[in-house]
Amino acid sequence: MSYREKYQEWLNNDYFDQETKEELKSIADDEAEIEDRFYTGLEFGTGGIRGVIGTGTNRINKYIIRQATQGLANNILQQSKLAKEQGVVIAHDSRFKSREFALEAAAVLNGNGIKAYLFDELRPTPELSFAVRELDAVAGIVITASHNPPEYNGYKVYWSDGGQIVPKRAEGITAEIDQITDYSVIEYLEREVAEERGLFEIIGSEIDDKYITELKSLISNPEVIDKEESDFKIIYTPLHGSGNKLVPRALKEIGFSNLQVVPQQEEPDPEFPTVDYPNPEEESVFELALEMAEEEEPDLILGTDPDADRLGLLLRRGDQYISLTGNQIGVLLMDYLLSQKAEADELPANGAVVKTIVTTELARAIADEYGVEVIDTLTGFKFIGEKIKEFQQQGDQEFLFGFEESYGYLAGTFVRDKDAVMAATLVAEMAAYYKNKGLDLFQQLENLMDKYGYYLDDLESILLKGKEGQEKIEKILDTLRRESLNQINGKRVTEVKDYLTGIGDLPEANVLQFDLEDNSRLTVRPSGTEPKIKFYFTAVGENWNEAEDKLEALKDELLSKVQQIIE
């Protein structure tokens, strides 16, 4: 069916409501817009669905949510007779239509006889992961687009282990979704009827309490927090998202009472009006926090994205506040947690840290010091969660810590996804611990680099929207594969890893990685959730300046080549 035929189908089919049809009529004279909305469908991958809110097959709307959920329901019903009774937990963030989409998903599950547990209001994504395990549910759904711009929303699926679905599971669900070409076959049950049948249940504070109890069990040095608490100050911003539900409570309950939340960013708001982009990786989102800091002089400024699975921070150095990258926060947390376990003689002989292939190799150098193995996965925290399940099933390794360069961290196993609520508490404890020793986090980072090497990393993304953009992304990857770079920035390429052919026991992925003779590294991959191609750069030097110079030269040469490819 052509994009025009799909457009007419939505316009004329009685299944679609009048509001939908009015929106379609409003673009009747815009052929390019019609094509963009209907030339394809939003792809259901291992990250679920993510797209711009609007009408059409290439937009996210209640009909696409229903279709995806019917596919999920079909897959669940194939598992076992008990699966429908186990039910599915649903959570959502503060985005436009998030509550509506969550209720739509529940109604389709209920229509298929599957119980739905829905949080009473917005909640952090990691709490959904926890709730799936706590309630022994068969699956979980989160309505979120993470840190995307306001016009986006999304739909992520988790399985019974609490982790995001991995490729094999996603393929099974996708196959079911693809068979649903007639929306009228989707089962649907109104909430009142579902409640009468015991198929719909609201959950809330009871899950919060259990999650916080588990989180507090991760704290290694409560006595240091008590000692530093009186003059250790924290400013926190949830960036108008779900983090404010749990981050302040968690910090206060482990002992950090000197905490202030940025008032202009405290309440949920789908417009994210105080920032251009609600991403704690960007220093610009901390402008209001920095204004508060002029008077309050906090030790730390913490920020979480709208679904509270990513944590960014600024730390005080004299009169200034500086940011750390996701890699830097990750290696600091990893070293801190390993050192505390080693000091308490609790470091297992079979301990493992799990990171992604684009995450800093400094982690491996540090882990070697503790006799801990570092295991790489493909990009995406779902693969880190999958490793935890694998370790527990095989009993051969013990998960100690997992992280990725994109500001995601996890300790413990009661959550199976990156967790910014947990990370906020651990970073605060770690900062208090080093403050007690007369150090700030940047000084401790320098101590690690002095010992293991100066690893500097950066990420550059090129936004390429629409059908033409997708073609350019494919052209960049095809060209880099075909030309097989032999030298970058004057350094010989010692190894080229094409993950599309399969590397080790990792699944196939459209990723290219170039290792250079000076231990520098370049990785190229298309984003799985946005119309972007991403370039990950790593440079290693004997000091900060040398590594920085290498990094800039590496970026300049590669990005110049990429522009030549797409011009």
Catalytic residues, which ones? 146
233 C-beta neighbours (distance < 10 Å), count: 18
Q: Which helix (H) or strand (E) holds 340?
A: helix 326-343
In degrees rounded to 5, what are phi and psi of residue 311?
-125, 130
Contacts of 208 (CB under 8 A, 6+ apart): 127, 245, 246, 249
Give the Cα-Cα-Cα angle 150, 143, 356 (nearest 5 degrees).
Answer: 90
Residue (of 133, 106, 303) closest to 202 by Cα position: 106
- Supply 366's token pair: 């540090």
Contacts of 270 (CB under 8 A, 6+ apart): 94, 95, 96, 98, 150, 240
Cβ-contact 280, 305 below 8 angstroms:
yes
Give the three-state DSSP class for 467: helix
Query: Would you call 541 exposed, middle or buried from its count of C-beta atoms within 10 A (0-12, 13-18, 19+)?
Result: buried
- In terms of DSSP H, where are the helices of 395-520? 420-436, 441-452, 466-483
The DSSP code for 220 is: S
| DSSP β-bridge partners for residue 154 | 50
- In angstroms, the CA 13 to CA 183 distance is 10
- In angstroms, the CA 434 to CA 527 distance is 36
**3-state SS record for 153-192:** EEEEEEECCCCECCHHHHHHHHHHHHCCCCHHHCCCCCHH
Cβ-contact 133, 161 below 8 angstroms:
yes
Residue (of 325, 326, 391) closest to 354 by Cα position: 391
- In angstroms, the CA 299 to CA 80 distance is 52
Cβ-contact 535, 522 below 8 angstroms:
yes
423 alpha carbon, distance to own chain's centre? 13
- In angstroms, the CA 198 to CA 416 distance is 28
Cβ-contact 96, 153 below 8 angstroms:
yes
Give the three-state DSSP class for 504: coil
